[in-house]
Amino acid sequence: MKNYQGRTAVITGAGSGFGLEVARIAAARGMNLVLCDVQSDALDKAAAEFEGRVPVLARKVDVAKAAEMEALAAAVKARFGAPHVVFNNAGVGSGGLIWENTLADWEWVLGVNLMGVVHGVRLFTPMMLEAAAADPGYEGHIVNTASMAGMLNAPNMGVYNVSKHAVVSLSETLHQDLALVTEQIRASVLCPFFVPTGISQSHRNRPADAPAAKPTKSQLIGQAMSDKAVSSGKLTAAEVAAMVFAAMDEERFYVFSHPHALAGVQTRLEDVMLLRNPTDPFKDRPEIGAKLKAALREG
């Protein structure tokens, strides 16, 4: 994209983290903001920050729920017309040994992380294509937040891995499908590594209709490891948001916050190509793997 002034950005998970920082850059570039979050207090605070600076539409939305996303799309079209940037960003985290996750865990994580992106793509892409067909000057960009967990498969966080791999697949397919029908709309996938955001405390927004069971040992260990890793991240959410806009400016698909992590992706792909069993994720830090095994195996 080349021009943002007066254009519209739809941002899910806009109350904190990457969503809020993307909203700040969008506002600085003169965009209309559609802010969505499931957490009312965070959403209200974000909306108040931008009121009076740029036009704002704030909606409490559970992105996993089709009806709420459909109502959002209708409200966006009525207020601003077709959006120009859609940041399908809302996400939740979950850990533990993959067989210990309950059906409620699967439905919650896949509902937010995957179906939230599905709803954003299925509802806003047709709107954007219609705008592009009507206006040769229209530019659009869809950015989906995945994770390095969408490129790798770290142990003890299987539900999250599955959801984020699906987002990478969806996004790559979206990129290819858009290229078949238009030059005016692009797509990107954001794959952050450990960045201090609220992702490790996702349970604060877990809905009542997806009750959490008593956490297992592996889930408690996974929560502790996630808390430590996320809080120790040196890159900020604001820096990642700047990367998102740089990717849109350059029409670049992949957005990796920590390019050094791609070495692990290369190893994984080599495992596939060489028909090799998956490489030990702790081969370079064996003490961490040993500690995790000991914690899980102790009586």
Per DSSP, the three-state class of 257 is: coil
CB 92 within 8 A of CB 197: no
Binned at pLDDT 50, 70 and 90, residue 132 comes out as very high
Residues noted as catalytic: 160
Residue 69 has pLDDT above 70, yes or no: yes
**Residue 209 confidence (pLDDT):** 82
Measured distance CA(83)–CA(123) in Å, rounded: 11
* Range with lowest mean pLDDT among 48-52, 140-144, 191-195, 278-282: 191-195
Q: How many CB atoms lie within 10 A of CB 202?
A: 19
Measured distance CA(13)–CA(38) in Å, rounded: 7
Measured distance CA(123)–CA(113) in Å, rounded: 16
Bridge partners of residue 9, in order along the sequence: 33, 85
Bridge partners of residue 189, in order along the sequence: 144, 254
**Residue 198 confidence (pLDDT):** 66
**Mean pLDDT for the stretch of residues 74-94:** 97
Measured distance CA(33)–CA(51) in Å, rounded: 10
Looking at every residue in the chain, the average pLDDT score rounds to 95
Q: Which of 248, 134, 233, 251 is nearest to 192 (CA)?
A: 233
Binned at pLDDT 50, 70 and 90, residue 208 comes out as confident
**Residue 13 confidence (pLDDT):** 97
Per DSSP, the three-state class of 72 is: helix
Q: What is the pLDDT of residues 210-251, one digit of tens each?
A: 888 899 999 999 888 888 878 777 899 999 999 999 999 999
Q: What is the pLDDT of residues 170-206, one digit of tens each?
A: 999 999 999 999 999 999 999 999 887 766 576 777 8
Measured distance CA(27)–CA(36) in Å, rounded: 15
**Residue 59 confidence (pLDDT):** 98
**Mean pLDDT for the stretch of residues 259-283:** 96
Residue 107 has pLDDT above 90, yes or no: yes
Sketch out the chain's domains with CATH numbers: 8-257 (3.40.50.720), 261-299 (no CATH)
CB 257 within 8 A of CB 191: yes
**Mean pLDDT for the stretch of residues 129-147:** 98
Binned at pLDDT 50, 70 and 90, residue 299 comes out as low
**Mean pLDDT for the stretch of residues 74-79:** 98
Residue 14 has pLDDT above 90, yes or no: yes
Sheet holding 56-60, edge to edge: 56-60, 32-37, 8-12, 85-88, 140-145, 185-191, 254-256
CA torsion sign for 223, 225, 227, 233 is negative
Binned at pLDDT 50, 70 and 90, residue 291 comes out as very high
**Residue 200 confidence (pLDDT):** 58
DSSP 137-200: T--EEEEEE--GGGT---TTBHHHHHHHHHHHHHHHHHHHHHHHH-SSEEEEEEE--S-SSSGG
